[in-house]
Each structure stands twice: as C-alpha cells, then as structure tokens.
C-alpha cells in the first residue's frame, strides 16, 4: 500500500473509531462518577445513601440485563441504527437526571434510560470494529483504542465527577454527558455499516424478559441486605401494609435471590428448548460449553465487582467518616485511577510478552495486595498518604487483567459467534459492576456507622471475592497461556 493509501486508511479508521470510543468512554464514566457525589446528591434531592446506592446499582443492572438483547437487536435493526438510537435514549436519560428533584426521576433518567441506552449503543461498538476492520492487526489496534477509552472513563470518572460536583454541582456532570452524546451523534453520521450478508435473526422476546427478570431479582435481593440483613430479618418485611416476613424470620434477601434463580433456570430451559426446535434463541447455550470461556467470564465478572465495589465503599467511607467533599474524594481515589491507566496503557505490550492466564493471575494478586495495604494503613484519622500504596497497587492489579480476560474469552471462539460472545461478555462484566455496588455497599451502608469495622469488613469481602477470581485464573487450561494476539476490554 502506498503512503497515500495508508494515510487514507488511518483517516477513515479514525472517523469510524472516534465516535465509538467516545461512546464507550461516556458509558464507563457514567458507571463510576456518581460514587464521589453520593452524599451531595442524597442531601440535595432529599433521599438517603441507600437510595443513591440503589440507583447506581440499577444502572449497571439494567445494562447487564439488556446487553444480550441489545446485541441481538443490532443484528435485526442494524448496528448504526442501534448505536444512534442508544445514544438518543442515553442522552434523554442524562437530561432527565440533570433536572431531577427527587429520587424517582433520577432513577428513571439515570438507572433506566441511561442503562437502556448503554445496552443498545455498546454492543455495536465492538461489532462494528469487528466487521469494518478485517485485518487482524488493524482490528486489534482499534480494539485497544476503545478499551483505553473504557479504562479512562471508569478510572477517571471519580476525579472528573468530583471536580464538576465541587465547582459546578452534580447536575452539570449529567449535562456534560448530554453535550458529549450530541457530539457523538454528529460524528456518527460518518459511520458506514457493511451490508448484511445473512438473514436477520428473530428476536426471542420471552428469553429477553426471563433473563432480565432473573438478573433483576438476584441483584435486587442482594440490595435488600442493607435493610434486612443477610440471615435473619432485622425488621418486618411489609408489602401493601401486610407483614410477609416478621422480624427474626428469614431475610427477604434469600426470597428474592431464590425467585431470581428460579426465573434464570426457566430462562436456560427456554433457550435450550427453542434451540432444539430450530428457532433462534436469545443466545446459544453452547456458549457455556467452553471451559476457557467460562472461566474467563468469571474473571471478568469478579474484576468489575471488585473495582466498582471498592470504589463505592471507599467513596462512602471518605465522605461519611472523614467528611471529604466530592473533589477531595476524587483526588484521594486518584492513585487507583493512575494505576488502572498505567496498566491499561501497557496492556498491549504485556500481552505480547506474557500469557493471558499469567496476566490475570498477576492482576488478581495485585488487587488482593492493594486491598490488604488499605486495611493495614488506611484509617479514619490517618494521613492522605496512607491510602496511596493500597489504591495504587489495587489499580495496577485491575488494569493488568482487564484486557487479558476479554482477550481470553474472545479468542476462545471463532469469528462467526463474536457478536453473541461480545454481548454475553459485556453482560457479565456489567453484572459484576452491579453486584459489586450491591454486595460491598450493603455491608457498609447497612451498618449504623459506615466506618471502622464495617469498612474493613466490606474490603475484606472484596478481597475474598478477588481470591475467587484468582482461583478461576489458576484453573484456566494451559492452552490459554499463550500470548494474546489482540486486546480489548469492556465495562
């Protein structure tokens, strides 16, 4: 190819990737920037920390529940159409959240509409890169660009959100998202989608409803631990004025989790029956027949659970125990941000030199060490510097393994099922984010005073979950140990 041809290719590549990378950045930003403004938002709209925690959890839960249906809709409606439609819904939600005077409108705008918009616009990002760039090296390069945008959005969200909240107000953080979405829509006009080469699949509406409902009840049940406790109900569980579970009875947590598990069982039976009948399921159950992929998905889920859970717990601790405002909270979390960015930036080089399995194990090891350092040195009355070693090491650990885990899952499957795998991968990752806020937050927020023992217990729970991820990495087959040919991550 001539120099002119290479320059034209690079220009065309940037025109395609820029709106996709910006969309991934803003979705990742939305998932992390709220943590530093929890107390401010709660006081401003007259709600509680638990109310804001629930809204944050519902945002990532909505994405997790609808990411797989969103991937299927991209094949039915078209990738560009879904991408722009998702942006429109997301921008509308951000505008409503900025205008919210109570928890109801904030939840509708942020948790529901931004969640639905993200579920529609994120799957086309990776699918468009896959089908537009047929050369593997070029595709890997632009996957790296998008993954870097995801890392920047997730890691820098607390700092940027803290600065905006402190100097302008939390509503301006949502207005910023509206402006970026408008910019992306303008850039998206240049996107050209290759013509469809196969018939569009039929949408499995029943499967979509069952999967979303099952995931909702599981995470909603975990959220109830903040109010009712994990084993025995601390207070009466009342619906419509009727006491369904008296104080001292089994916690409603397990009732909701059992309902969710039963619905998910029905979902898997449904897609298996639909597949055997020759109909299009929401996704093929054969996606769970690959051991490497299954373990890789587990590591993805745990990574985002630990990252979002730790950011939530530390943010609440800093604001409610140390009395830090939004910008101070964002600045104190900066070592973790730097760690994620540095490790993500070096991910491509590390993947060429080390196996994906080794990188994932190293990442979980670093994350556990980072949490241990926080438990050892960070106290309510300790200096700011006592937080730096733990947060930095934890950020480095998370950053090292994010790209490797997704590479592991994607490389375990042929190209013709990458769309389904990408949707499942992002659903699992966002479910991890949702569970992280719900699980770790419930330990901290459920305490009378979210500091000292409850704070340490919440971090200990996250460390224990990270150890589960490490075990999954150890169990990865040796044929997954070769260096990765490409890089990509998700949120």
Condensed to tens digits (0 to 9), the pLDDT of residues 293-345 reads: 899 999 988 988 888 888 878 877 777 777 777 677 777 888 887 887 788 77
Angle, helices 334-345 vs 136-167, to 10°: value is 170
Tell me the range of 105-119, 195-209, 240-254 where mean pLDDT is highest. Answer: 105-119
Contact 117, 91 (CB under 8 A): yes
pLDDT, tens only, 186-233: 999 888 777 666 667 778 888 889 988 888 888 778 777 777 877 788
How sure is the predictor about 49, in pLDDT bands with cuts at 50, 70 and 90? Answer: confident
How sure is the predictor about 137, in pLDDT bands with cuts at 50, 70 and 90? Answer: low
pLDDT, tens only, 25-37: 898 888 777 777 7
Residue 444 confidence (pLDDT) above 70:
no
Give 166's Cβ-side CA count (13 Å radius): 16
Residue 256 confidence (pLDDT) above 60:
yes
Pick the CATH number of 11-192+280-480 from 3.30.450.40, 3.30.70.980, 1.20.1250.20, 3.30.200.20: 1.20.1250.20
Among 211-220, 233-242, 374-383, the minimum mean pLDDT is found in 374-383
pLDDT of residue 94: 95
pLDDT of residue 197: 65
Tell me the range of 50-54, 105-109, 151-155, 451-455 where mean pLDDT is highest. Answer: 105-109
- In angstroms, the CA 429 to CA 302 distance is 8
pLDDT of residue 182: 95
Contact 303, 401 (CB under 8 A): yes
pLDDT, tens only, 331-352: 788 888 788 778 877 766 777 7
Q: Chain-wide mean pLDDT for the chain?
A: 80
Give the residue-averaged pLDDT of 43-49: 85
pLDDT of residue 484: 43
Identify the H or E element spanning 193.
Answer: none
Nearest to 299 by CA among 381, 363, 210, 235: 363
- In angstroms, the CA 163 to CA 170 distance is 9
Among 81-95, 116-130, 232-246, 411-425, the minimum mean pLDDT is found in 411-425
pLDDT, tens only, 452-482: 567 778 888 899 999 999 999 999 887 654 5
Give 198's Cβ-side CA count (13 Å radius): 4
pLDDT of residue 485: 44
Q: Tell which wins on pLDDT, 446 or 420.
A: 420
pLDDT of residue 489: 40
Among 70-74, 84-88, 272-276, the minimum mean pLDDT is found in 70-74
Among 133-147, 230-244, 410-424, the minimum mean pLDDT is found in 133-147
Give 473's Cβ-side CA count (13 Å radius): 27
Contacts of residue 338, defined as CB under 8 A and 6 or more positions apart, other chains included, come to 392, 395
Percentage of residues of the chain with pLDDT beyond 90:
21
Among 83-87, 150-154, 163-167, the minimum mean pLDDT is found in 150-154
pLDDT of residue 370: 92
Contacts of residue 50, defined as CB under 8 A and 6 or more positions apart, other chains included, come to 226, 227, 445
- In angstroms, the CA 280 to CA 391 distance is 45
Q: What residue segments make up the domains of the chain, in order of their start?
A: 11-192+280-480, 204-279
User: Measured over all CA atoms, what is the biggest interatomic distance in the chain, rounded to whole angstroms?
Assistant: 76
Total residues found in the chain within this entry: 491
């Amino acid at each position: 190819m001539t120099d002119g041809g290479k320059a034209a290719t690079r220009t065309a590549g940037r025109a395609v990737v820029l709106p996709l990378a910006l969309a991934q950045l803003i979705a990742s930003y939305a998932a992390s920037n709220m943590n530093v403004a929890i107390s401010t938002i709660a006081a401003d709209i007259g709600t509680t920390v638990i109310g804001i925690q629930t809204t944050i959890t519902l945002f990532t839960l909505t994405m997790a529940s609808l990411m797989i249906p969103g991937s299927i809709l991209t094949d039915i409606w078209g990738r560009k159409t879904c991408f722009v439609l998702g942006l429109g819904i997301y921008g509308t939600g951000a505008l409503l959240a900025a205008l919210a005077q109570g928890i109801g409108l904030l939840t509708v705008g942020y948790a529901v509409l931004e969640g639905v918009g993200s579920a529609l616009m994120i799957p086309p990002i990776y699918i468009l890169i896959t089908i537009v760039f047929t050369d593997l090296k070029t595709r890997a390069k632009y996957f790296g660009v998008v993954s870097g945008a995801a890392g920047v959005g997730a890691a820098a969200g607390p700092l940027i959100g803290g600065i905006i909240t402190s100097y302008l107000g939390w509503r301006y953080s949502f207005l910023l998202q509206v402006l970026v979405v408008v910019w992306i829509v303008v850039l998206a006009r240049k996107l050209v989608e290759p013509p469809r080469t196969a018939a569009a699949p039929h949408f499995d509406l029943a499967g979509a409803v069952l999967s979303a409902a099952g995931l909702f009840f599981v995470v909603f049940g975990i959220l109830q631990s903040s109010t009712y406790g994990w084993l025995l109900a601390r207070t009466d569980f009342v619906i419509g004025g009727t006491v369904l579970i008296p104080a001292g009875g089994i916690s409603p947590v397990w009732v909701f989790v059992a309902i969710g598990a039963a619905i998910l069982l029905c979902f898997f039976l449904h897609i298996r029956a639909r597949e055997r009948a020759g109909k299009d399921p929401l996704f093929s159950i054969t996606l769970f027949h690959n051991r490497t992929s299954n373990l890789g998905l587990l590591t993805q889920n745990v990574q985002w659970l630990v990252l979002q859970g730790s950011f939530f717990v530390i943010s609440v601790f800093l604001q409610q125990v140390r009395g830090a405002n939004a910008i101070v909270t964002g600045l104190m979390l900066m070592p973790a941000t730097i760690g994620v960015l540095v490790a993500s930036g070096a991910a491509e080089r590390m993947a060429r030199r080390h196996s994906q399995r080794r990188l994932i194990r190293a990442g979980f090891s670093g994350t556990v060490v980072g949490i241990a350092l926080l438990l050892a040195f960070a106290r309510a009355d300790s200096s700011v510097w006592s937080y730096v070693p733990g947060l930095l090491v934890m950020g480095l650990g998370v950053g090292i393994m994010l790209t490797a885990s997704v590479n592991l899952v994607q490389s375990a499957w042929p190209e013709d099922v990458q769309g389904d795998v990408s949707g499942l991968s992002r659903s699992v990752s966002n479910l991890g984010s949702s569970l992280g806020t719900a699980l770790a937050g419930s330990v901290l927020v459920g305490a009378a005073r979210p500091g000292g023992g409850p704070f340490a217990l919440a971090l200990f729970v996250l460390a224990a979950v990270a150890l589960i991820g490490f075990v999954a990495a150890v169990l990865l087959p040796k044929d997954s140990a070769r260096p990765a040919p490409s890089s990509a991550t998700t949120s």
